[in-house]
Structure formats: structure tokens, C-alpha cells
Structure 1
């Protein structure tokens, strides 16, 4: 029995001795795993495999490391990229393992397991190396995070991811975007994802059929992003080859040297750049080189007197080149021979001809639609300008048409209205309320100024047009100087309410500012108000009677003198309201009225003196004419004004009484 016990003890001892080297590491590994569960986690392994690239952290070399994490499919990939981007990823120097870290209360760092998020114990700053990616690396990490953000529960995050892709798309975003479309619940974001997916399909899809289908889906689309995606497909580079172009190149067109598309000099420069021909010097440089080597009346043994042709000078220069005295150059004959021996052509950057054909067809359809929308946009600009001219001219049409008074101070009533709006805004800070107060107040101020001007000056000058013109011109100068004395020479802002900021964008081509829309609506309101006054009120009836026949109106008990006063005040008041509207669009200065007085007179004369419908048509004609001339000659607005005045002069020669002639006193009856 004792023998058996001894034998058993020996066997145990042998087993322990031989099992120690095996069991020891296993036990150590088990203990280590218990203390740090991520040592063999897949995300830790990926970081370890790319440790050298991560430590270097160079924008040129970090790509594979970021891609390895982003494409791993691991649930921890996003958090690792986000912490890395935020500079919260650390490397422990002792064992080269990666952790997240947070500042602990003891002044050191608290390590966090990157696989489980569990507390991995404390560490001092000396034990850790903080990974600090520069802005370029952080941008690459941000791009890698986009696919994760496309499926984020927060719509704002998904929208930001779409913005990031639109700014800096990459081939890898296409599949991520396709996968994120099916799970998108927001209709707006889904539409954006689908549009962006088609744009990325054009650029990165491997199947030409998919690219062509995406291109054709954008035919006629006015988005700038579409043109940005299609234009690279039809971009060309110029090339030259000694023989036929390679069969695998997508050739846009062949070029003939010496044509408008390819001048001979440019063609030869292509040959020289490609190393297919010798460079040539200019004729002047050649003559200078020959002159510098004249010896005893000869150049390279050729008499100077014989160098009277290009061929002779070429021979002399070639002889100098053979002697190593000048750099060699191509002769005219060599240049022509080189041009004849080579094929010049433009080739597409896109190698697939079917893709470029689809892109060109889509761009042609887009160009046609863009042209139509540009015409619409130009028409909207012309209408808004016409509404401004109509507002500025409607008061002048009343005074000029009814009273026959050429009021050169009409522009200053516009200026007074604009300054009234400015003063009101200094008192009432609410811009919406201040504008609502300024409109009737500007009418009252300029109405009173107009009545005073008519009572003090105009009434004494009826039927004396030259004296009236000079008197109102003097009043115009005086009012301008008075405005300078009160408000100074600096432009004063008349601020529009916040709801008038920005513009109405119908698409990427057509847009119109809300201020112009408001002025257009105001012009329509004043048209309706004026028609109501003239057609539905006693004042309007009396104005029409005095306009048509003042003597007959007086015999019917109407006071023409009173009607003239009220008419002049009404016209001046409307000019004041126009000043408030124009002040929202232009800076308020003492010269504001002078910018519109010429157009106002042209509007009234072209439309027909004293006729509201004629004024409307005249403003429309002048607005469209000015915008059309500016579109044809956009670099010179002064020329546009000159051409417009010449057109008005010719128009008056054909219709001296305007588009709609008025019967009565204003028409000379």
C-alpha cells in the first residue's frame, strides 16, 4: 500500500513538471483576458495590424487604416472612428494596445475598453500616447463616418451626412447610399438620397448601363449638381499621335492644323510638348541670332546680302546650329512636314462612348431648358424694374397729364418719401411696423409739399412751360441741398422687414427677391387704387372733366384751380410712397430722385401723357427694353441707358403722342 502511494506521488510530480510549460501560458492568458477582454477582440486586432500607420497619422498613408476600420462591419467601428476623430483614442506604451480615455478625478486618465466600453483601469499621461490626427486625417475619418451617419436615428445627422457626400463624394459612398435608401422614413431625406445616389451612379457605377440610365433620368434637370456631374464626362483633352489614334480612346473630334479650332502654331506646340518635333524660335529671335554671328559680311559662310528670304535665313541658322553656335530649331518646311505627318484630335476623359453620348444629349436638353428659364428670369427682372418705374412715374403722369406741368422736382418727392421712411425707422425700431407707418406718412408729407409747391409756385406759371421747367428745376436743386444739410451726404439705410429678406427660388436658374415682389404688388395696389379714385369717386370725375375740357368743367361748377391743387398733391403723394418702396431696394441719398426722373419722364411720354394704362405700358416697355439691352451688353450699363434713350427718340418720331394718346387738354385739343 505504501508502495502504491509513493508511485502515485511520483506520477503526479512528473505530470506537474511536464504540464507546467503548457498550463502556465494558458493560465496567464486566462488571467490576462479576465483583466482586459479586448486584447483579442476583432476591433483591437485591426488597430494592432495598422498600428504603424495610425502612429504616423499622415494624410497620404492613413487611408488603409481608416478603411480597415470603416469596412470591418464591426459594431465598434463607428465609435472608434468618432473617438479617433475627436482625439480621444489612446495607445498604451507598455503593451501597444488601444483604449479610449477620459480624464479622471485623480489627475490621470481612465481607460475604457474599445470593444466593450468597460472600465479598463487608470493610467498616467506618461503611460499613454494620445493619437492626434491633423485636420487632413480628421477629414478622411469624417468621410469614412458618412456611411454610418446615413442610417443614424437622428434626421439631422442623416441630413449632415448627405451634405458631406455632396461636398466630397467617394466611390465607397455609392453602396452605402443605396443601402440607406430602403430604410429611410423621411420623404424629404429619401428624395435627397435617391437624387444623390443617381449622381454618384453617374460618377462611380461600374456598369455603363446603370450610368446611362442615371444620366437619362436627369434630362432637362436644372440643378447645378447635375451639370457638375455631367460636365466631367464630356470634358476633353487635346492629343496628337504619329499615326491613327489608339482604338481604345473615346475620340470627340479630329482636328485639322490651321483651322479655327486648332491654329497651326498651337498644333506645333503640341508636337513639341509631346516630344514629336524640335522647338522653333520666332522670326525676330532668328534674325537677332544671325545678326550676332556676322563675320566679314557673312553668316556661317553665307553672304548677308543673300539672306533676304525665309529659306535663306533658315539655311544660315541651320549652318550655325551645325557648328554648335546656336540651339537647333525647326525650319518652316520641317514644321509643315511635322504637322502633315501627325493626327490631332480631342479625346474624352470618359472612355465609354455610350456614356459620353448620353451625357451630351442630357446636357443639350438641360441647356435648352436653362435658356428658357433664363428668359423667364430676365422677364421677372424686367417686370420688377417696370413696377419700380411705374411707381416712380404714376404721380408724374397725373401732374403732367392733367395739368401739363413739367415738374423737374418730381424725383425729389421720391427722395422725400424715402427719407420719411428712414426717419420713421429711427423712431420705430420694428421694421414691419415702421414700414406700415411710413407709407401713409410719406404720402401725407409729400402731398403737403406738393400742395405747397403748387400754391406758391406752379399756379403762377400755368401755360408757361419753359418758366415752369426752370422753376421746378431750381426747386429740385434746393430740395437736394436741403436734404444734404439735414441728413448729410452719406447713404442712409431703409431696412426692409425680415420677411422680405432673401428671394423666391423657383429653381436653380429662376429667382426673384421678396423686396421686388413686394414692390410689384405695391404697384398693382396703386394701380387699383388710382383706377378706383378716377372711376368711382367725385374727385376722379372732376379730374377727368378738367383734363378733357377745363372750361366746360368750370361752367358745370367745378373749380379747376382746386382740382389742379389736389391733383398735384395726389401725384406728389404717390411719389412719396414710391420713394419708400424704392428706398427698400436702393440706398437713400439726396440724389435718389435723380436716378429715376429721366425714366419717369420717358415712361409717361412713351405710354401716353395723362393715361394710367399708357403709363403702365410705357413702364413695361422701358423695363423690358433696359433689361434686354443690359443682357446684350452687361459690362456697360451707361451704354444701355444711351441705347434706350435713342430708342425712345425713334419711338416718339413714330408715335409722338405715345402708346395710348389722351384726348383733351393734354393732347392739345
Structure 2
């Protein structure tokens, strides 16, 4: 041995022994050439282990092609190549073998499954996050116990926090179903208690899958989920059907079927020895049928009393398909905990939706609340001012391609346009109709129709896009249950800004002081040098301008059409009336109440939005009967109107 080693060293020193060459993929494949060409499910693992141990980057591609049957072998040389086109397995370069005789490598389904499991290990550690996510999706679609080990191996080196969390959850779900010991399965199930994942709930529901059973006595070898009581938990008809299906009782047939069977077996004026003229009662017919059944001529049946006795003599139950009771107990407890958390988060999500809808209604109604409260004018054209603001935003986007800048410009421009339109409407129409509510309602309704037609003539009947800036795309995702779009958040913030701005104007400015004075006592305000006519004009213009800004915000969320104002006029009036006419805080309270009520009804009846609207209106009518002045009643002229 020593002499051999000395000889090798001497030859190496003389340059006669070449240094060891790094192993390539083809060399490994040639080592297992027979197994690669004709793989078997039980023996292919040796090849895969050697491929993985090599650490070669081209192994993943080979496994993919091998699994998809895109590998061929040159029968003359025994070398393997990728097919379509013919490529070298190491370099990936196209090769030209015109005279070669190539045989396709076609692994069967079992081998392909083993290869797929090995391939998942590579994909789970792929540098591309998208491929890692695809691998996790594949595991979630077809969970298998063989995936636990490669998935666990990929957890430690995962750099992405979101993917790491999903890997850990997926490991827990796989172990919950496939781990080797009860302790490991229970521990994995308990680790899912804090999640809201739909996949986790599906895993626990799979563990808690039940199947119906019936027996004379409750079996000792089944994991019973619950005992069923015929007539309470299960109908007696269904319970007896289970007895029949299990071969524990004869099937029951109708009286008509008994008559047909007897008629078919009349022999010499009698049936089973009973004369036909004696078959005039149900008991005698049943007796004859029973004799036929004993002779094997008809299917056996039973009486009501016998059926009731059979039901009483058997136990009906539902048993878990999972035999381990400790696992099902843990799964039941964790699933109940998850469902409670889901219910709480659904409530939070519903509250966010209600707040978002309330902010939209507040923006739509605040201008109407000001004009209605100060002037007592029922403005049916208020929705058209919202529509005008939305179309103003659309025009600004056509002039200014930058959506963020166009939105910033659209807000003051929409206010100016609708403020001017409101002042013109007040000067030309409203001022002549004060204290004449019916005429005011009809006049403003006519103006709303005219404005809708004008919008159709200018912009057409199709909806126009009011595109939100890129930073408003998407949603804020808090967890798998609670999320809210950034547009809704922006509208909510805008509603808060308007609330603060209007409170500042009404409480901290001379205009606000004069508005409040005219609201409370117009005669006294006039005697103090305040011009109520001017205040009415400015107030109506202010309310119309706010509606225009609301239109820009609503246009980002809803469709912009000539009829969009009609979608909000009813809710706006309901908001004002429920909250308290002419009061900012009342409008906020009314919007919150209506938004919450509408979302709550839609949650309870999601398939019928029209019914939800009807229920909401009925509730508001009842509410007004008990509190006609609204949630926050206003004192002064508005209260007297």
C-alpha cells in the first residue's frame, strides 16, 4: 500500500497523473444510465439523491425535462440529451446528431411524482421569488407527506418575510395531516391557532371530515363525532334509509306498490293462499305481501311499527374519517378559535366598509345640509352638482396627463365651477321661491333633468373614466380578512378634512358667524346689519361648491355618467334628515348611521341589494317617527321649517 501511494505521488510529480476533473451532469447520468433510461418508483431515489448531492445548477432543468418526458438517449453512445430541440444536458447548447438513433425516456406516473417532489426542493430555494411562490402554490394544491422534508429544509434560508411566513404555515398544515406521530400532529395543529388563512381552515376541515354510520351498538373502533337522534338531528325517513343501505332493515314500499305486486302474483283467484276477495284491508294485503316475500317472489318490506322498532334498536352517528381522537379534539378546538377570530375580523372589515361608505355619504350630503339648514330649500338638483364636479375632474385629466397633478387642480376648479353654478341658480330661480317648498322642489327637479340632458349632450351617454393616481391603486391589506382600498382611505381622509374645514368656517370666520346668525334668527341678524339675501346666496354657492368637490372624490370610486347624481340624492336627503337638518355634526352622525345600516343589511342579505335598500328606507322611516328632528336637532329657523 505504501509503495502504491509513493508511486502515485511520483507519477503526479512527473505530470503523468492528471488532476481530478470536476464532475458534470452527463457523468452522473452515465453512472446511473440504466435507471435513468428505465426508471422505477422504488429505485429512482438513488439517482435523484446523487443529482441533488452534486449541487450542479443544471440539475433542476434536467429534473423538469425528465418529469415532462423531454429527455432522449442516443442508443449508440448512451448519452442523454434534451429533446425539442436537441440540446446538451450540461451546456444547454443545441447539438446536431443527424444519424443518431434516439429513444425517448418516458417515466411512468409514479416516477414523475417522485421527480416532482425532488423538483419542489429546487424551486423552493430558487433565487426568483415568483418561482418560490409558484412552488408553494403547487404544494398547497396537491399536499403530500413527501413535501414536508424539502419544505422544512427551505425555511431556514428564506430571505423574504412574507414567503417565510407562508412556508412555515404550509409546513404546519402538512404536518397536521401527515406527521408520523400524534404529538407532532397536535403540535402542528395548535401552531395554526393564530392564523386566519383559508388554507389552514380547509386543512382543519379535512381533518374533521365525517361520514355517516349506523350500527346496533356504538362501535369501539371509530372516532365518533356525534350521535344522531332520528326525528331531531336526522329525519326518520332518512334514518330508515340508512338502515336499508346498511342491510340492517328491509326496504319499505308504498301501498300502491304492494297492490301492484299482489296483482302480479294472483294464482287461481288467490295470492299466496289468500283469496283475492279477502284482500280488502291493509293488514290482509300486507300479510299476503309478506308471504310472497317469504317465498322470494317480491322484495321484503316492513310495517310502521317494525320500522320504528328498527330505528329504536340502532345507533345513528357521524364518525371522523380521522381515527386519532387526540388529533380531532385539537383540530376542533383550533378551528373554533380561528372561526372566532375570523368573525371578529369580519366585523372589523365590515366596520371599515361602513366608515368608508359613511364618508362618501357625508361628502355627498354636507353641501345639502348647509343649504337646507340655512335656507330651507329642498334642492333636488344637488346630485347634479356632484355630477358636474365629477365631469370637471374628467376634463382636467384630459388637459393634464399627470393624474396626481390633475387631481390637485380638479378640486379647486370643481369648487369654482359648481360654486358659480350654485350662485347662478340661487339668483335666477331659488330667490324667487323662498318659503314655497313645493314650487322649489318642482323647479329644482326640472333643473336636475335639464342638467342631466346637458351633460349627455356634451359628454355622451357612456361612462367616462376618472382615473385615480397610481399611488391610490391597490388596497391596504391588514390580514387575509381585513382590507380597504387606498381610494376609500383617500375619500375618508378628504371627508375628515372637509369636516374640519367646514367647522372652521362656521365657527372661526365672519362668514360662518353670519351664517349661524341667519340660521338661528334671520330677523335679528338683519337688524344687526347682516344681509340675509347675500348670506343665502353665498351659502347656496358654498353648498354647491362642496358638492362639486365631493363629485371629484366620488368619481374616483364610482362611474362618471350624467345620471350619477341620482345615485346619491336619495342617500343625501336621508343623511340630512336622519342626522338633523342644517347641522354638520348631525350630518356626520346621519352618514355614519346610514353607512353602517346599509353595510349591515348587505352583509345579512348579500344576494339582494335592492331588498337591502328597501329595508334601510323602512328602518329610517320608523326612526323618523320616533325622532322627527334627527339625531342632532338644530334650533332656529331650520328647526321651525
Q: What TM-score does the superposition give when structure 1 sets the normalisation length?
A: 0.83
Corresponding residue for 2:34?
Answer: 48
| Aligned equivalents of 2:110, 2:379: Cα separation in 1 | 67
CA distance in 2, matches of 1:78, 1:412: 63
1:471 aligns with 2:443: yes
Task: Tell me which residue corresponds to 1:70.
Answer: 48
2:609 matches 1:631: no
| Separation (CA, whole Å) in 2 of partners of 1:121 and 1:482 | 71
Rate the CA distance shift 1:575–1:289 in 2: closer, same or farther, 3 A.
farther
Confirm or deny: 8 A CA contact 1:609 1:657 kept in the other structure: yes
Cα pair distance change 1:84/1:459, threshold 3 Å: same
Aligned pairs (5 A) from 1:307-386: 307-309=280-282, 311-318=283-290, 327-386=299-358
Look up the match of 2:176: 202
1:225 equivalenced with 2:199 (yes/no):
yes
Q: Distance in 1 between matches of 2:491 and 2:368?
A: 18
Cα distance, 1:78–1:469 mapped onto 2, change above 3 Å: closer
Distance across 2 between alignment mates of 1:636 and 1:393? 25
Q: Provide, for residues 302-356 of structure 1, a one-character-per-residue CA deviation record: whole Å limited to 9, x for no partner.
A: 55785454x4443344455567775544443453344344332111121111111
Once the two structures are TM-superposed, the CA of residue 599 in structure 1 deviates from its matched residue by 1.4
Residue pair 1:415, 1:579 contacting (<8 A) in 2 also: yes
Instruction: Give the Cα separation in 2 of the matches to 1:120 and 1:484.
Output: 63
Aligned residues: 614
1:532 maps to what in 2? 504
Task: Specify the alignment match of 1:177 in structure 2.
Answer: 151
Q: Does 1:433 align with 2:433?
A: no
The Cα shift of 1:122 comes to 6.5
3-state SS in 1 of match to 2:594: helix
CA RMSD of aligned residues (A): 3.4
Q: 2:550 aligned with 1:578, yes or no?
A: yes
Q: Does 1:93 align with 2:71?
A: no
Distance 2:254 2:401 in 1: 71
Decide whether the 8 Å contact of 2:228 with 2:317 is kept in 1.
yes
Deviation at 1:288?
5.7
Conserved 8 A contact 2:262-2:288: yes
Cα distance between partner residues in 1 of 2:76 and 2:257: 71
Segment drifting more, 128-137 vs 631-640: 128-137
Q: Deviations over 1:116-136 (max 9, x none)?
A: x89999733651124477999
- Give 1:70 shift: 3.2
How big is the shift at 1:617? Answer: 0.7
1:519-668 map, 5 Å: 519-668=491-640
In structure 2, the CA distance between the partners of 1:332 and 1:111, relative to structure 1 (3 Å rule), is: same
Please give the alpha-carbon distance, in whole angstroms, between the structure 1 residues aligned to 2:127 and 2:452: 63
Q: Does 1:448 align with 2:426?
A: no
In structure 1, C-alpha distance between the alignment counterparts of 2:199 and 2:182, rounded to whole Å: 20
Q: 3-state SS of the aligned residue for 2:214?
A: strand
Residue 123 of structure 1 aligns to a residue in which SS?
Answer: coil
What residue in structure 1 maps to residue 63 of structure 2?
Answer: 81
Measured in 1, the distance between the counterparts of 2:533 and 2:125 equals: 78
Q: Which moved more, 1:463-472 or 1:494-503?
A: 494-503
C-alpha change, 1:435 and 1:119, in structure 2 (3 Å) is closer
Residues of 2 paired with 1:138 and 1:579: CA distance?
59
d(CA) in 2 for partners of 1:308 and 1:358? 58
Q: SS in structure 1 opposite 2:72?
A: strand
Q: 2:360 aligns with which of 372, 383, 388?
A: 388
Rate the CA distance shift 1:285–1:523 in 2: closer, same or farther, 3 A. Answer: farther
Correspondence 1:254 to 2:254: no
1:229-275: CA deviation from partner (whole Å, max 9, x where unpaired): 21111111112234441x3321112223x233222222222233334
> In the alignment, what sits opposite 2:5?
none
Question: Which of 135, 140, 145 lines up with 2:119 in the alignment?
Answer: 145
1:298–1:642 distance in 2 versus 1, CA, 3 Å? farther
CA distance in 2, matches of 1:160, 1:331: 61
Quick one: distance in 2 between partners of 1:269 and 1:379? Answer: 47
CA distance in 2, matches of 1:147, 1:381: 42
Moved more, 389-398 or 430-439: 430-439
Residue 396 of structure 1, CA deviation: 0.4
**Residues 506 and 516, structure 2, Cα contact 8 Å, conserved in 1:** yes
Q: 1:317 to 1:118 in 2, by over 3 A?
A: closer
Contact residue 389 and residue 599 of structure 1 kept, 8 A: yes
TM-score by length of 2: 0.86
* Whole-Å separation in 1 of the counterparts to 2:99 and 2:116: 27
Give 3-state SS (helix, strand or coil) of 2:180's partner: coil
Partners of 2:557 and 2:314 lie apart in 1 by 60
- With over 3 angstroms needed to count, the CA separation of the structure-2 counterparts of 1:282 and 1:611, relative to structure 1, is same
The structure with the largest alpha-carbon Rg is: 1
Which range is displaced more, 517-526 or 41-50?
Answer: 41-50
Structure 1's 40 and 547: CA in aligned 2 closer, same or farther, altered over 3 A?
closer
Equivalent residues of 1:421, 1:494 under 8 A apart: yes
Asked if 2 retains the 8 angstrom alpha-carbon contact of 1:89 and 1:99, the reply is yes
Over residues 367-394 of structure 1, what are the superposed CA-to-partner deviations in whole Å (9 max), with x where a residue is unaligned? 1111111111111111111111101110
Shift of 1:39: 13
Q: Give the Cα separation in 2 of the matches to 1:431 and 1:304.
A: 94
Larger mean CA deviation between 220-229 and 524-533 belongs to: 220-229
Aligned mates of 1:451, 1:119 — CA distance in 2? 77
**Aligned-partner SS, 1:504:** strand
Once the two structures are TM-superposed, the CA of residue 289 in structure 1 deviates from its matched residue by 5.3
* Cα shift at 1:361: 0.7
Deviations 1:75-119 (A, max 9, x none): 266454134246552122347x35125899xxxx5766x7xx899
Q: Is the 8 A contact 2:290 2:300 kept in 1?
A: yes
